[in-house]
Amino acid sequence: MKILVVGNGGREHALAWKLSNDSTKPELFCTPGNAGTAELGTNLTLGVTEIDGIKQWCIENQPGLVVIGPEAPLCAGMADVLEAEGFRVFGPNQAAAELEGSKQFAKEIMKAAGVPTSAYETFTDPDAACAYVRERGAPIVIKADGLAAGKGVTVAETIEQAEAAIRDALEGHAFGEAGARVVIEDFLMGEEASILALIDGENVVMLASSQDHKRIFEKDKGPNTGGMGAYSPASIVTEAVLEKVKTEVYDRTLAELKKRGITYKGVLYAGLMVDQGQPSVVEFNCRFGDPEIQAILTRWEGDMLPAINAVIDGTLSEDLIEWKPEHSACVVMVAGGYPGDYSKGDEIQNIGKANAVDDTVVFHAGTALDGDKVVTAGGRVLGITSLGTDLPDALSKAYIAVETISFQKAFYRNDIAHRELTRMH
């Protein structure tokens, strides 16, 4: 069977890696893919939002499955278009993907459903928005309503920072149309955790817990990034927290969507803040988290395809997913300067050696082939992911592999999983 994976990041390399190892040995295509996916199948040249081009490729090549990785094509309705042509698609339809596509929509659903989340208001008028933050006080969170490639969120420590973020979005058009409306939310206390669940329209199966590290520098300092590393499982997500997330977040959200005639099929990622055992939703994403998926998929025992098929067919059940008892750790190597400006086209050395470290996989994110060389092609370059008997063992292997790899101005955090390690001591 042919499988097409849409996307070109670490998430899509991890998906392609898992699917290419499936016992049914599918033939893999990725569009546009990266140097990592090129080793597992055929990279196409179509960009992730070239919906017409991808539809045409599907009509000509008849894949048995299309897995849509990133939020942009999902929010643009790629799943709807391909399903209308009769293709089997993993990924929510456009109406369901609005949970990520519009922060206001996500908040409105959560409020109506009674999902634990912070208080909020939305604004298009900068003066009214600034008056609201002066009334609420800081810290406070300013979010562009639409998709802003991970850049639309400001956690303002002061009223001045909040007002600057509001004016950047509403007057400076820093995020274009995506920032023509802002959602202003109260700041949530606690520790972050990522919970993802597969959903087949009715049934919800939670995936293994993980924790991301969003800030660029150690001790969680500096600007936000797409994610600098992750580990799984995250012990902050106790059985009791997981149960609350299932009933108070997933069941309530899906019931509210259903009331509005929206069916959710695919993966739904709840970014959480957990405070004294009580989870609150910071954001929803309509796709797998990156780098969380690297940490999660390496722990997935056996084939993933039966669970993906069950999501599409509405036959999802817990017994389709089993987790390895090992712990995983993923360390992201980025190009120096990221999340600001950084160079591209720098040769990456020793990926093969790093892959040879026990229980380790080097997932490519921003990489490309230049002849037979692998070069950097994005800010987040690689996600080095290892399994271990416990978290320190997984981290030790991942960092041995990281230190083997070199490229100009390579940068990574040395403290992935620091909160979990502190908890362990």
Using rule CB under 6 A, residue 285 touches ligand GLY: yes
Residue 134 DSSP class = H
Which of 292, 326, 346, 420 contacts ligand GLY by CB under 6 A? 292
Using rule CB under 6 A, residue 289 touches ligand GLY: yes
Contact yes or no for 264/289 (Cβ under 8 A): no
Using rule CB under 6 A, residue 388 touches ligand GLY: no
CB of 215 to ligand GLY, least distance (A): 12
CB of 226 to ligand GLY, least distance (A): 6
- Residue (of 60, 54, 55, 66) closest to 28 by Cα position: 66
Residue found by looking up tokens 């030790």 in the block = 396
- 331, containing H or E segment: strand 327-335
In 3-state terms, what secondary structure has residue 215?
A: strand
CB of 317 to ligand GLY, least distance (A): 26
Contact yes or no for 186/120 (Cβ under 8 A): yes
CB of 271 to ligand GLY, least distance (A): 7
**Closest CB to ligand GLY among 137 and 222?**
222
Using rule CB under 6 A, residue 225 touches ligand GLY: no
Using rule CB under 6 A, residue 212 touches ligand GLY: yes
CB of 23 to ligand GLY, least distance (A): 28
Q: Name 267's Cβ contacts closer than 8 Å, sequence gap at least 6.
A: 196, 197, 198, 199, 207, 286, 287, 288
Q: In the range 56-85, which residues lie near ligand GLY by CB under 6 A?
A: none
CB of 293 to ligand GLY, least distance (A): 8
- 394, containing H or E segment: helix 391-404
**Closest CB to ligand GLY among 11 and 244?**
11
CB of 230 to ligand GLY, least distance (A): 7
- Residue (of 302, 291, 317, 308) closest to 232 by Cα position: 291
Stretch that binds ligand GLY, among 127-135, 216-224, 283-291, 358-366 (CB under 6 A): 283-291
CB of 334 to ligand GLY, least distance (A): 13
**Closest CB to ligand GLY among 54 and 295?**
295
Stretch that binds ligand GLY, among 30-38, 153-161, 289-297, 328-336 (CB under 6 A): 289-297
Contact yes or no for 104/284 (Cβ under 8 A): no
Q: In the range 308-347, which residues lie near ligand GLY by CB under 6 A?
A: none
**Closest CB to ligand GLY among 63 and 291?**
291
**Closest CB to ligand GLY among 130 and 193?**
193
CB of 227 to ligand GLY, least distance (A): 3
**Rounded to 5, what percent of the chain is helix, strand, coil?**
35, 30, 35
- 189, containing H or E segment: none
Contact yes or no for 180/203 (Cβ under 8 A): no
Encoded tokens for 285: 């994403």
**Closest CB to ligand GLY among 289 and 379?**
289
CB of 329 to ligand GLY, least distance (A): 15
Contact yes or no for 286/74 (Cβ under 8 A): yes
- 260, containing H or E segment: none
347-350 contact pairs (CB < 8 A, 24+): 347/373, 347/374, 347/375, 347/407, 348/374, 348/375, 348/376, 348/381, 348/382, 348/405, 348/406, 348/407, 349/405, 349/406, 349/407, 350/404, 350/405, 350/406
Strand pairing report for 204-206 and 182-186: unpaired
Binding map of ligand GLY across residues 172-211, x = CB under 6 A, - = no contact: ----------------------------------------
**Closest CB to ligand GLY among 168 and 192?**
192
Which of 227, 233, 279, 366 contacts ligand GLY by CB under 6 A? 227
**Closest CB to ligand GLY among 207 and 357?**
207
Residue nearest to ligand GLY (CB): 227
The Cβ of residue 351 has, within 10 Å, a number of other Cβ atoms equal to 21
- Chain residues binding ligand GLY by CB under 6 A are 212, 226-227, 285, 289-290, 292
